[in-house]
């Protein structure tokens, strides 16, 4: 999702083509909540991916809105990089 230009439109299309009762699942890295708690993960996110890795509130507002998502923040490496696992079940 990070590199897709029209991210919201891409997610909208995934939701649209999902069957009724089906689900769409996304996983995308996000910046750690605190640079002080996870400095290596924060630096990696800012230096390695720069503009592609966003803070969670920005990710939610730019990509996940207006749909209803269950989102869970996950720490997935030894240095503390974090990601957001998002699931949407289509009614």
How far is Cα 63 from Cα 80, in angstroms, rounded to an integer? 23
pTM of the model: 0.80
Contact criterion met (CB below 8 Å) for 74 and 82: yes
pLDDT tens readout for residues 21-77: 999 999 988 999 888 999 999 898 888 766 778 889 988 888 888 888 999 999 988
How far is Cα 74 from Cα 5, in angstroms, rounded to an integer? 25
Cβ neighbours for 56, distance < 8 A, ≥ 6 positions apart: 30, 31, 33, 73, 84
């Amino acid at each position: 999702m990070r590199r897709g230009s029209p991210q919201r439109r891409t997610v909208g299309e995934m939701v649209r083509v999902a069957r009724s009762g089906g689900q769409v699942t996304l996983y995308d890295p996000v910046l750690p909540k605190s640079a002080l708690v996870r400095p290596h993960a924060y630096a990696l996110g800012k230096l390695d991916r720069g503009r592609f890795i966003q803070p969670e509130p920005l990710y939610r507002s730019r990509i996940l809105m207006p749909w209803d998502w269950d989102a869970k923040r996950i720490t997935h490496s030894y240095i503390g990089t974090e990601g957001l696992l998002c699931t949407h079940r289509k009614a």
